[in-house]
Amino acid sequence: GEAYTLKKTVVMVGMMGAGKTAVGRALAARLHVPFLDSDAEIESAANMTIPEIFARDGEPFFRKKETQVIGRLLDEAKGVLSTGGGAFLSETNRRMISEKGVSVWLKADLSTLWNRVRHRDTRPLLRTDDPRTTLRELYDARVPLYSEADLAVISDSDTAIETMVDRVIEALK
Ligand code: S3P
C-alpha cells in the first residue's frame, strides 16, 4: 500500500479493553507509520511493569511519567500513539494531544470492555474486591472526557480489528 504522511499523530484514547493497542498497532502498519505506545514506553524506561510501578511508586508517580512520555512521543515522531486508559483524563495531556495530535476515542460498551479485561491481571486499577463495579465506575466517570476526543469510532466485541482500522481511516478523512 501507499505510505501516508501524517500531519499529526493519531492518538488512540478510551477505556482499558477498548482495543487501543491492537487497533493502534494495526492502523500504524496499514499507514506505514511508526507505532508508539505510552504504557510500553513507561515500562521500558522504568524497567518495571505497570502493576509494579503502581505498587512501588503509586498512581500519581505513574501519571507524572505518563504525561512526560506522551509529551516526548508527540514531539519525537508522527505516527499512531496508543495511550493508557487514564491518559485522556488529565487536562495537560488533553491539551498536548489536541495541539499535536488528532485524538480517536475507541468507544466500546461496558460488557465488551468487561469481557476483554476480566481474565487479565495487568490492570492495577481493577485489583479491587469488585472489579466489575470498579470498571463501571471508571467508565461512567470517564466517558464525558473521552467524548471530547476529535473522533469517535465504535469498537464492539464482534468487529474484526481490520474493520475498526477501516473505520478510523474513514473517520480521519
Ligand atoms: C489505566 C489503563 C492502563 C494503564 C494503567 C492505568 C487506566 O492502560 O495505563 O493500568 O487508568 O485506565 P490500558 O488502557 O492499555 O489498559
Residue 166 has pLDDT above 80, yes or no: yes
What digits encode the pLDDT tens for the residues 18-34? 999 999 999 999 999 99
Which three cell numbers mark 1? 500500500
Residue 1 belongs to a domain: no
Query: Which residues pair with residue 103 across a beta bridge?
Result: 11
Confirm whether the ipTM is greater than 0.90.
yes
| Residue 98 placed within a domain | yes
Which residues does ligand 1 sit against, CB inside 6 Å? 16, 20-21, 39, 50, 84-86, 123-125
* Structure confidence by residue, pLDDT tens digits, 90-148: 999 999 999 999 999 999 999 999 999 998 888 999 999 999 999 999 999 999 999 99
pLDDT-derived band at 81 (thresholds 50, 70, 90) equals: very high
143 in a structural domain: yes
pLDDT at 69 (0 to 100): 98
- Which residue segment(s) compose the domain that 16 sits in? 9-172
Is there a domain that residue 92 lies in?
yes
Contact present, 117 and 126 (Cβ < 8 Å): yes
> The sheet that has 80-82: what strands, in order across it?
35-37, 80-82, 9-13, 101-107, 151-154
Instruction: Copy the grid coordinates of residue 31.
Output: 499507514
CA of 85 to the centre of ligand 1 (A): 4
Closest CA to 108 of 165, 151, 167, 153: 153
Q: Can you give the pLDDT at residue 2? A: 61
Please report which confidence band the pLDDT of residue 17 belongs to, taking 50, 70 and 90 as the band edges: very high
What's the pLDDT score for residue 1?
A: 55
Probe target for ligand 1 pocket from 125, 137, 145, with the most ligand atoms within 8 Å of CB: 125
What DSSP assignment string belongs to the chain? -PPP--SSEEEEE--TTS-HHHHHHHHHHHHT--EEEHHHHHHHHHTS-HHHHHHHH-HHHHHHHHHHHHHHHHHH--SEEE--TTGGGSHHHHHHHHHHEEEEEEE--HHHHHHHHTT----GGG-SS-HHHHHHHHHHHHHHHHTTSSEEEE--TTS-HHHHHHHHHHHH-
Does 4 reside within a domain?
no
Portion of the chain with pLDDT greater than 90, in percent: 88
Q: What domain count does the chain have?
A: 1
CATH of the domain at 100: 3.40.50.300
pLDDT digits (tens, 9 = 90+) for 23-73: 999 999 999 999 999 999 999 999 999 999 999 999 999 999 999 999 999
Residue 3 domain-assigned (yes or no): no
Contact status, residue 116 vs residue 15, Cβ threshold 8 Å: no
In a domain, 148, yes or no: yes
* Mean pLDDT of all residues belonging to the chain: 95
- In-domain check, residue 72: yes
